[in-house]
Structure formats: C-alpha cells, structure tokens
C-alpha cells in the first residue's frame, strides 16, 4: 500500500509540473516579449506593404534588429516557438497575455 501511495504521489508530481521546454529554449516571459515584438513587426510589415504601397520591406532586417535587442537568436526563437506550437494550450496562454499587453499599450497611447 505504501508503494502504491508513493507511485501515485510521483505521478501527481510529474503532472503538476507540466511539459518542460527543450534545452536552449527561451524562458516563457522572454519568449512572450520576443513574440509580442514579432507581432508588431508583422503589423508594421503589413502596413508598409498595403497602406504605404512599398514594394520592398526589410522584414529580415526588422527581425535581425529584434533578436539583437532582445539578446537572443533566430534559432532560439524558432526552437521555442516550435515547442510551444506542439503545446497549443500553452501557446494560447502566451498569446492571450500578448493580446492583453497590446490592449494596454493601445489604451495608453490613446490617452
């Protein structure tokens, strides 16, 4: 009986911690910040292409600058994004926080 309780305890302990990102992945908060800025780059690129009718948009340069400012690499970001894509519930949580933050920024800019 004691070993059954111990096994149950270990099972619950393992479930409580959730999935762990791979070695070299960005920690969650840092990933969220980089992903938020990446969403802003996508919005900027779309604006420049559609509204301003620019033929060439230096999207890669924008991303290079982002990764440099955030102290990360494209490879780390891709590794982390791919891991979160394999865990959609966790990625959804990150995106919900990003949407909230973008709303806050919009509200602060409107004042």
For 10-38, the pLDDT digits (tens) are 444 455 568 999 999 999 999 999 999 99
Quote the pTM value. Answer: 0.78
pLDDT at 9 over 50: no
- The span from the CA of 65 to the CA of 71, in Å, is 10
Q: How far apart are CA 33 and CA 94, in angstroms?
A: 10
Q: Express each pLDDT in 33-86 by its tens digit.
A: 999 999 999 999 998 887 777 778 899 999 999 999 999 999 999 999 999 999
Pairwise CA distance, residues 108 & 45, whole Å: 23
How many of the other CB atoms lie within 10 Å of CB of 26? 22
């Amino acid at each position: 009986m004691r070993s059954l309780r111990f096994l149950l305890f270990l099972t619950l302990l393992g479930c409580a911690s959730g999935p762990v990102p791979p070695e070299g992945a960005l920690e969650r908060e840092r990933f969220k910040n980089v992903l938020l800025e990446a969403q802003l780059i996508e919005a900027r690129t779309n604006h420049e292409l559609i509204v301003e009718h620019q033929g060439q948009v230096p999207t890669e340069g924008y991303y290079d600058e982002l990764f440099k400012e955030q102290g990360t690499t494209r490879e780390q970001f891709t590794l982390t994004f791919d891991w979160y894509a394999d865990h959609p519930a966790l990625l959804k949580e990150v995106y919900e926080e990003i949407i909230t933050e973008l709303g806050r920024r919009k509200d602060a800019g409107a004042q």
